[in-house]
């Protein structure tokens, strides 16, 4: 009898065998218990829905050869009282399904469609309780559909062909109010001046724009893409006379001081961050190769090889769908590295998360639970990096309840590139080649959405802005591009960029700025039918790169892509001139749908003068201000304060996150994030060997000083100082450190918020010049706030992340922070602190400090900080330092405790006795201080000379930390007790 084949949907349910265990179920059980539920059983399973002409024999082969590992898994669908399933919504990227479709084609030569899901099974709780648990912690309505039965559709959803109609948008006759309404309703997020500029252009052209032209302008002019606030002219008005300020306004480029005490700043970015870099280059910093002109900054590592670095933010997408937002954040940053110069190889990832505290119970409508946000952004970065084979080596987590509706997700990547391939340009006649993933509706309006403010309706209104990445697809693209770069005779392409914010719109628009381009949108491969020409153009679907390819090299490139299973499509050609210079011409189904002058697209955005104001409050450094007092002042014994600080979520160990990442893939890692004999010490920075066998290292670290948010000028100085210290502590040369800025601010439409941004940028200028650390790249995100249903706006704290890479001349210089041996001496090097301002001690217990100093050098000694860094680096390079650790979050005593717990083991405990310390000496977080372990104290003291330093004590084998005898003392506080506090369950 012949079996009749139909395109039926076959359902397979696969779970781990009982003896193997089910870690995911164990995690859900803990979630249920924390929610007050007590299920007697939790099980999970994976669901595969396969649609196609699969007969019973082929179905069995699917089970045994693809879906079920006979050693550890079983296809078991036992009945249970309660079962909840989670499946992706139609159109949502399903990477596992894509991989299975390819595998079925290879194994059975069948063309099938696949969708995957998760099944959660419970005993001992009701279906309603199970559904609420799944919906609140395990699913996201933006991308998932929850089913209370076994989901088995007759067919999988598919798109249908869309009709083609060229649409124009009436704009020439609209009033300013109606232009504003159009901008908001169409998700353009352009302001009145920008809409009026577009209106004027089309009045000159004597026509209205097509929809795709208007969308192209919106993407290109978005805050996310063009950084228009940082590049604008700003009128800064301080409430106090400039003479009383901590900033020296008289010696700054691009600044005009006025008689009324205000300052006009022409292009804030160019006159602060970029100015510092270009001045340093003019002064002899000759190891930067490319700054502010490419997807990433590039610096020289050796004469033959260079490294590039980029850090992006993916905040708003992560607020809606944390897993997808973080995954595509790191995926996009990896593509920035691939698209730098003529293609770099990603060799390390970084991540920093700023989220609400994990025990937050009052979660506003429209926000996700903070525990879900953190666990999923970690998983997104973890899965993408691990699957691509890129180690995640550096990062941090900062907790603040003001991130309840707007988490910050910083994703970074470092790459290696031949020094002679650091620049590329599209040439007239080059083909526009799209390489990688197919285009879908994911990420529509992603760039403009990232430039907007979040509200309680954002998950509904902008679900289309969410993207789900596929790391395996990007790995194929990477392999193909690196092969095409390294062919004999030189790269097969003359320029490359990633298809990120704005999709093809931004990628082709940027590459063709000086030569023009013509694009045929119907040639783009699609995930499914039904996309309009505008959706194809602005989609931010992931894993896509755009290359400028000489026609004679196309066949070679296609052959490589075929071998690497990376899809290639020719979309058009670079090189189109019109009456007004280079033009962007867009076609769909043999009809022109858009034509824009490149000059207007890139230079037509108006730059009105923006108003910034600054009113110092307590702690801003005015001559009469007192340091901001938080909390209620109370007396706390040193032991009690130390244990509470070590357990504070900002300070406590992040090992539950760190150990989810692969640190050693690619075999380049020299120092991992956790160090010491037991791997429990918080390393200051990571070190890799980018060129295996060369002996030259690269240190990767960061600095974050949000505690000093009351004056972002001081916050910027402290963040750069911390980044430098972290790198120096592991052996980096402070004369070869490059840094990046990431400004994340609440809405700068408020003059006060813009004023604080100005102060942070001014701090970046001063610190970069002082430390001689050029900025090589950066990114800003300036609308980070959340408005609740009742109209309350929750602004994030102004946040500046500084990421740094530093050259380690020889790997023999690498140093870790774990205490090494009894008999050695601990010393603290750097200026003595005078205040608890901005410290975690102040957050927990409150303080009464003396009046704040009026000069920045009293708070962050701009001369002493770099000088101390150089001296410490020389000590490390000379082999005089056994361990080095910077004094940062928690202060000196926390730094000492971390060194002891990192170096101690049950077999070899270490301890220390200290003299009495007052709270400022023990817990201040003032910059520019290091704790060093040295064996030859006399020689080190001689080398330090007049650099401020103080002996803390000699390391012993007591296994305890004791502080003084004539005041509040730590008596026999075990180092293991310190470790227990630090290793607490804060991230569970």
10-residue stretch averages of pLDDT, the chain, 988 residues long: 62 93 91 88 95 92 93 84 92 87 93 95 94 91 90 87 87 94 89 94 95 93 82 89 80 90 94 97 97 95 98 91 92 96 98 94 89 94 96 96 96 98 97 94 54 47 60 96 96 95 91 97 91 92 95 98 97 93 96 96 91 72 30 63 95 95 95 95 98 97 95 95 98 98 95 96 97 96 90 95 98 96 98 93 76 44 90 98 97 97 94 90 95 98 96 96 65 89 72
What is the predicted pLDDT for the residue at 988?
42
Grouping H, G, I as helix, E, B as strand and the rest as coil, residue 461 is helix
What is the predicted pLDDT for the residue at 852?
47
Closest listed residue to residue 876, CA positions, set 926, 824, 944? 944
Residue where the block lists tokens 């609740």: 788
pTM above 0.75, yes or no: yes
Q: What does the radius of gyration of the chain's CA atoms come to, in whole angstroms? A: 29
Q: Retrieve residue 464's tokens.
A: 């289309």
Residue where the block lists tokens 């052996």: 731
What is the predicted pLDDT for the residue at 985?
64
**Partners of residue 634 on adjacent β-strands:** none
What is the predicted pLDDT for the residue at 847?
67
Helix or strand holding residue 220 (H, E): helix 211-220
Give CA separation, 72 vs 79, 116, 526, in Å.
21, 20, 37
CA pair distance 498, 337, nearest whole angstrom? 9
As annotated, the active-site residues are 224, 314
CB burial class (10 A; 0-12, 13-18, 19+) of residue 461? middle
Q: Which long-range contacts (CB under 8 A, 24 or more apart) does 859-862 make?
A: 859/246, 859/621, 859/714, 859/717, 859/835, 859/926, 860/714, 860/717, 860/718, 860/721, 860/767, 860/926, 860/927, 860/928, 861/831, 861/928, 862/717, 862/766, 862/767, 862/770
Specify whether the CB–CB gap between 464 and 517 falls below 8 A: no
Q: Tell me the angle at which helices 751-771 and 864-877 cross, rounded to the nearest 10 degrees.
A: 40
Alpha carbon 58 to its chain centroid, in Å, reads 44
What is the predicted pLDDT for the residue at 451?
44
CA pair distance 450, 325, nearest whole angstrom? 11
CA pair distance 946, 757, nearest whole angstrom? 36
What is the predicted pLDDT for the residue at 463?
42
Grouping H, G, I as helix, E, B as strand and the rest as coil, residue 628 is coil
Specify whether the CB–CB gap between 798 and 745 falls below 8 A: yes
Closest listed residue to residue 910, CA positions, set 896, 923, 921? 896
Sign of the CA dihedral 599, 602, 605, 608?
negative
CA pair distance 483, 551, nearest whole angstrom? 18
DSSP 746: S
Closest listed residue to residue 542, CA positions, set 326, 219, 223? 326
In our burial notation (b when 16+ CB lie closer than 10 A, e otherwise), range 26-47 reads ebbbebbeeeebebeebbbbbb
Grouping H, G, I as helix, E, B as strand and the rest as coil, residue 800 is strand
Q: Tell me the angle at which helices 937-944 and 864-877 cross, rounded to the nearest 10 degrees.
A: 140
Closest listed residue to residue 895, CA positions, set 817, 973, 968? 817
CA angle (759 as vertex; 754, 764 as ends), nearest 5: 125
CA pair distance 9, 152, nearest whole angstrom? 7
Q: Which long-range contacts (CB under 8 A, 24 or more apart) does 557-566 make?
A: 557/433, 557/484, 557/492, 557/493, 560/480, 560/483, 560/484, 560/492, 561/435, 561/480, 563/480, 564/476, 564/479, 564/480, 564/483, 565/102, 565/476, 566/435, 566/436, 566/476, 566/477, 566/479, 566/480
What is the predicted pLDDT for the residue at 6?
59
CA dihedral 902, 904, 910, 915 (to 10 degrees): 30
CA pair distance 637, 967, nearest whole angstrom? 9
Contacts of 736 (CB under 8 A, 6+ apart): 287, 806, 807
What is the predicted pLDDT for the residue at 226?
79
**Partners of residue 956 on adjacent β-strands:** 911
DSSP 813: G
């Amino acid at each position: 009898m012949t079996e009749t084949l139909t395109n039926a949907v076959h359902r397979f349910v696969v779970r781990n065998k009982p003896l193997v265990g089910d870690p995911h179920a164990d995690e859900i059980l803990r979630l249920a218990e924390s929610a007050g539920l007590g299920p007697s059983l939790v099980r999970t399973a994976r669901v595969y829905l396969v649609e196609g002409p699969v007969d019973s024999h082929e179905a069995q082969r699917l089970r045994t050869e693809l879906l079920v590992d006979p050693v550890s898994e079983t296809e078991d669908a036992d009945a249970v009282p309660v079962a909840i399933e989670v499946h992706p919504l139609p159109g949502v990227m399903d990477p596992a399904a894509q991989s299975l479709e390819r595998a079925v084609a290879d194994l059975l030569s069948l063309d099938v469609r696949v969708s995957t899901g998760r099944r959660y099974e419970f005993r001992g709780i009701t279906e309603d309780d199970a559904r609420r648990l799944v919906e609140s912690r395990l699913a996201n309505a933006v991308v998932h559909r929850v089913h209370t039965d076994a989901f088995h559709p007759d067919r999988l959803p598919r798109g249908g062909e869309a009709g083609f109609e060229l649409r124009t948008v009436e704009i020439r006759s609209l009033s300013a109010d109606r232009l504003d309404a159009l901008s908001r309703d169409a998700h353009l997020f352009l302001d009145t001046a920008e809409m009026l500029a577009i209106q004027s252009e089309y009045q000159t052209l004597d026509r209205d724009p097509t929809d795709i032209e208007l969308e192209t302008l919106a993407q290109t002019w978005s805050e996310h893409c063009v950084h228009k606030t940082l590049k604008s002219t700003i009128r800064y008005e301080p409430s106090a006379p400039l003479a009383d300020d901590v900033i020296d306004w008289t010696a700054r480029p691009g600044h005009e001081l006025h008689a009324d005490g205000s300052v006009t700043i022409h292009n804030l970015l160019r006159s602060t961050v970029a100015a510092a870099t270009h001045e340093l280059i003019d002064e002899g910093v000759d190891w930067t190769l490319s700054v502010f002109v490419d997807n990433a900054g590039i610096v020289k590592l050796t004469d033959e090889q260079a490294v590039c670095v980029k850090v992006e933010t993916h905040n708003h997408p992560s607020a809606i769908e944390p897993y997808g937002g973080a995954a595509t954040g790191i995926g996009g940053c990896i593509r920035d590295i691939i698209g730098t110069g003529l293609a770099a190889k990603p060799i390390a990832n970084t991540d920093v998360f700023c989220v609400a505290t994990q025990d937050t119970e009052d979660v506003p409508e429209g926000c996700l639970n903070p525990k879900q946000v953190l666990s999923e952004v970690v998983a997104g970065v973890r899965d993408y990096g691990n699957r691509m084979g890129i180690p995640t080596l550096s990062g941090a987590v900062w907790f603040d309840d003001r991130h309840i509706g707007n988490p910050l997700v910083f994703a970074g990547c470092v790459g290696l590139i031949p020094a002679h391939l650091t620049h590329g340009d599209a040439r007239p006649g080059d083909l526009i080649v799209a390489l990688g993933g197919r285009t879908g509706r994911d990420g529509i309006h992603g760039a403009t959405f990232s430039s907007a403010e979040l509200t309680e309706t954002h998950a509904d209104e902008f679900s289309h802005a969410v993207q789900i990445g596929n790391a395996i697809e990007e790995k194929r693209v990477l392999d193909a591009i690196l092969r095409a770069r390294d062919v004999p005779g030189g790269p097969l392409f003359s320029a490359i960029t990633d298809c990120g914010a704005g999709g093809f719109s931004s990628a082709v628009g940027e590459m063709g700025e000086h030569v023009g381009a013509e694009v045929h949108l119907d040639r783009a491969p699609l995930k499914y039918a039904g996309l309009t020409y505008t959706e194809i153009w602005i989609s931010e679907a992931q894993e896509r790169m755009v290359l400028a390819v000489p026609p004679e090299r196309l066949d070679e490139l296609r052959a490589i892509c075929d071998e690497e299973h990376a899809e290639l499509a020719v979309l058009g050609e670079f090189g189109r001139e019109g009456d007004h210079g280079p033009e962007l011409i867009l076609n769909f189904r043999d009809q022109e749908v858009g034509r824009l002058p490149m000059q207007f697209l890139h230079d037509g955005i108006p730059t009105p003068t923006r108003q910034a104001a600054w009113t110092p409050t307590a702690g801003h450094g005015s001559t009469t201000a007192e340091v901001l007092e938080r909390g209620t002042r109370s007396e706390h014994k040193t032991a009690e304060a130390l244990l509470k600080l070590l357990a504070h979520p900002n300070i406590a160990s992040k090992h539950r996150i760190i150990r989810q990442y692969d640190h050693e893939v690619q075999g380049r890692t020299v120092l991992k994030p956790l160090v010491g004999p037991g791997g429990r010490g918080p390393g200051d920075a990571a070190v890799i060997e980018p060129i295996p066998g060369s002996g030259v290292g690269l240190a990767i670290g960061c600095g974050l000083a949000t505690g000093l948010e009351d004056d972002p000028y001081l916050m910027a100085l402290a963040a750069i100082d911390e980044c430098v210290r972290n790198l120096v502590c592991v052996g980096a040369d402070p004369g070869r450190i490059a840094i990046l800025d990431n400004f994340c601010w609440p809405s700068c439409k408020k003059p006060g918020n813009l004023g604080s941004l100005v102060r942070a940028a001014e701090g970046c200028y001063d610190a970069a010049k002082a430390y001689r650390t050029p900025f090589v790249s950066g990114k800003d995100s300036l609308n980070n706030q959340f408005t609740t249903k009742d109209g309350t706006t929750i602004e994030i704290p102004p946040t500046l992340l500084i990421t740094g890479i530093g050259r380690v001349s020889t790997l023999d210089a690498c140093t870790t922070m774990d205490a090494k041996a009894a008999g050695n001496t601990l010393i603290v090097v750097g200026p003595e602190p005078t205040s608890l301002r901005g410290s975690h001690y102040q957050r927990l217990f409150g303080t009464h400090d003396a009046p704040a100093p009026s000069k920045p050098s009293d708070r962050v000694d701009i001369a002493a900080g770099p000088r101390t860094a150089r001296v410490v680096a020389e000590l490390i390079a000379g082999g005089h330092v056994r361990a080095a650790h910077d004094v940062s979050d928690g202060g000196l005593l926390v730094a000492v405790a971390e060194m002891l717990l990192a170096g101690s083991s049950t077999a070899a405990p270490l301890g220390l006795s200290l003299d009495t310390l007052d709270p400022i000496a023990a817990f201040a977080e003032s910059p520019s201080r290091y704790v060093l372990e040295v064996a030859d104290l006399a020689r080190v003291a001689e080398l330090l000379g007049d650099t401020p330093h103080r002996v803390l004590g000699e390391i012993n084998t007591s296994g305890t930390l004791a502080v003084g005898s004539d005041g509040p003392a730590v008596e026999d506080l075990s180092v293991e007790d310190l470790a227990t506090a630090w290793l607490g369950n804060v991230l569970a």
